[in-house]
């Protein structure tokens, strides 16, 4: 059943830097455990190869050795679970194999409310502060966001989060929905200019990725990944990470473009851009003429944000060169 191993080697390959197939049953890449040579970025001493009927991993730099099953588990637990089930269905787990039988856990089903009973921003009076706030930011799809007059009290009806309901306040609700439209979480954006917490994120289902826009995205088209939900409304087919560190590679997307904020002096953003470039992903590097910090500000300044993104998405060596010119840290 080595064809199953081969299939899952290809699936995990996007996570492996400098991944190449040397010959039949031999794959080479930079070691994900030790990071391989720090001086020579093209050095790759991690190998997957077959021993008898099973693949194993070995690094000739740090010496780490793993069965392929354990290697896959270290790289992507969700992919590993699928791999084990494939092996199980073909009778290749348990006694006499290198893979234990899968554990079956039967959880009580969760019934998620499809939507919310809150009033849509689009239904509010044109002078309402929540509607005025979004319209001043240039956001058109007012029907997708909601107004909550008492955020803490409403949240506690869904999930006990707040022990103290004092100083409860109004917030705009930014819904997180799955592909079927089920509400699994949300952000509350304060309308108070001096609020200590401008955004509060509540997850009703902790197993879901903290990503905004999953209900609207088309997996067959290029997906734009931005930082903030409001920014995502200005780009076609986009999602927002909303402060999440979820690994988008587990979502089955094959064509996506990272769109980070335009902050060349922000070391964290520079490091995140560098990381996705090293992974082989496409990323937008803003041209020097653009001074605004984020997509929303660019839109308000009169820029055609979609065209800017389409014309400044880079990958590989070109992306690295553009990043070096753009960053200021």
Contacts of 313-320 with CB under 8 Å at 24 or more apart are 313/257, 313/282, 313/283, 313/284, 314/282, 314/283, 314/284, 314/285, 315/277, 315/280, 315/281, 315/282, 315/283, 316/277, 316/280, 319/277, 319/282, 319/283, 319/285, 320/277
Distance between CA 7 and CA 86 in Å, rounded?
11
Q: What percent of the chain has pLDDT over 90?
A: 70
Q: Which residues contact 197 (CB under 8 A, 6 or more apart)?
A: 190
Q: What is the CATH number of the domain that holds 70?
A: 3.90.580
Q: What is the pLDDT of residues 264-284, one digit of tens each?
A: 999 999 999 999 999 999 999
Assess whether 238 and 292 both reside in one domain. Answer: yes
With H, G, I as helix, E, B as strand and everything else as coil, classify residue 154. Answer: helix
For the record, the structure tokens of 180 come out as 């079927």
Let me know if residue 296 belongs to a domain: yes
Assess whether 262 and 316 both reside in one domain. Answer: yes
Q: Please provide residue 154's backbone torsions phi and psi, each rounded to the nearest 5 degrees.
A: -65, -40
For residue 9, how many other CB atoms are within 10 A of its CB? 20
Assess whether 184 and 155 both reside in one domain. Answer: yes
Instruction: Provide the domain count of the chain.
Output: 3
Kindly tell me if the per-residue pLDDT of 94 is higher than 70: no
Least confidently predicted of 28-37, 108-117, 119-128, 153-162: 108-117
Q: What is the pLDDT of residues 299-320, one digit of tens each?
A: 999 999 999 999 999 999 999 9
Let me know if residue 170 belongs to a domain: yes
With H, G, I as helix, E, B as strand and everything else as coil, classify residue 277. Answer: helix
Distance between CA 96 and CA 114 in Å, rounded?
46
Q: What per-residue confidence (pLDDT) applies to 106? A: 56
Kindly tell me if the per-residue pLDDT of 29 is higher than 70: yes
Distance between CA 255 and CA 221 in Å, rounded?
7
Q: What is the pLDDT of residues 176-218, one digit of tens each?
A: 999 999 999 999 999 998 898 999 999 999 889 999 999 999 9
Q: Binning pLDDT at 50, 70 and 90, where does residue 329 land?
A: confident
Distance between CA 197 and CA 91 in Å, rounded?
53
For the record, the structure tokens of 102 come out as 């899968």
Assess whether 236 and 192 both reside in one domain. Answer: no
Q: What is the pLDDT of residues 225-267, one digit of tens each?
A: 999 999 999 999 999 998 777 788 888 888 999 999 999 999 9
Distance between CA 30 and CA 95 in Å, rounded?
32
Assess whether 126 and 46 both reside in one domain. Answer: no
Assess whether 236 and 190 both reside in one domain. Answer: no
Q: What is the CATH number of the domain that holds 307?
A: 3.40.1360
Distance between CA 116 and CA 255 in Å, rounded?
32
Assess whether 240 and 316 both reside in one domain. Answer: yes
Mean pLDDT of 5-21: 90
Which of 17, 77, 19 has the alpha carbon at shortest distance from 48? 19
Q: What percent of the chain has pLDDT over 70?
A: 93
Let me know if residue 208 belongs to a domain: no
Tell me 75's DSSP state: H
Let me know if residue 150 belongs to a domain: yes
Assess whether 74 and 141 both reside in one domain. Answer: no
HSE of 206, CA atoms in CB hemisphere, 13 A: 1
Assess whether 138 and 192 both reside in one domain. Answer: yes
Assess whether 75 and 126 both reside in one domain. Answer: no
Distance between CA 309 and CA 248 in Å, rounded?
19
For the record, the structure tokens of 138 come out as 């240039």
């Amino acid at each position: 059943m080595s064809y199953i191993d081969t299939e899952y080697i290809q699936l995990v390959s996007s996570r492996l830097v400098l991944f190449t197939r040397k010959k039949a049953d031999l794959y080479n890449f930079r070691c994900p455990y030790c990071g391989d040579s720090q001086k020579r970025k093209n050095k790759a001493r991690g190998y997957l190869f077959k021993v008898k009927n099973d693949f194993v991993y070995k690094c000739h730099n740090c010496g780490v050795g793993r069965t392929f099953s354990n290697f896959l588990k270290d790289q992507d637990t969700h992919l590993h679970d699928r791999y084990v089930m494939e092996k199980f269905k073909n009778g290749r787990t348990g006694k006499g194999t290198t893979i234990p039988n899968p554990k079956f856990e039967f959880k009580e089903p969760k019934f998620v409310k499809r939507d919310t009973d809150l009033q849509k921003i689009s239904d509010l009076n044109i002078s309402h502060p929540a509607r005025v706030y979004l319209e001043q930011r240039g956001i058109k799809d007012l029907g997708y966001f909601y107004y909550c007059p008492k955020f803490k009290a409403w949240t506690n009806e869904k999930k006990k989060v707040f022990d103290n309901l004092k100083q409860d306040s109004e917030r705009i609700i930014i819904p997180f929905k799955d592909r079927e439209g089920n509400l699994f979480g949300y952000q509350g954006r304060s309308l108070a200019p001096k609020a200590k917490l401008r955004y509060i994120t509540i997850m009703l289902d902790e197993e879901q990725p903290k990503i905004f826009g999953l209900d609207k995205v088309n997996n067959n088209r290029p997906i734009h990944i931005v930082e903030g939900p409001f920014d995502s409304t200005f780009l076609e087919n986009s999602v927002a990470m909303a402060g999440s560190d979820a690994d988008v590679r587990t979502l089955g997307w094959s064509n996506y473009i990272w769109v980070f904020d335009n902050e060349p002096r922000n070391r964290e953003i520079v490091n995140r851009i560098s990381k996705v470039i090293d992974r082989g992903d496409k990323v937008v590097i803003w041209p020097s003429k653009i001074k605004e910090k984020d997509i929303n500000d660019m839109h308000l300044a009169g820029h055609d944000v979609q065209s800017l993104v389409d014309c400044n998405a880079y990958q590989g060596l070109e992306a690295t060169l553009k990043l070096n010119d753009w960053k200021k840290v």
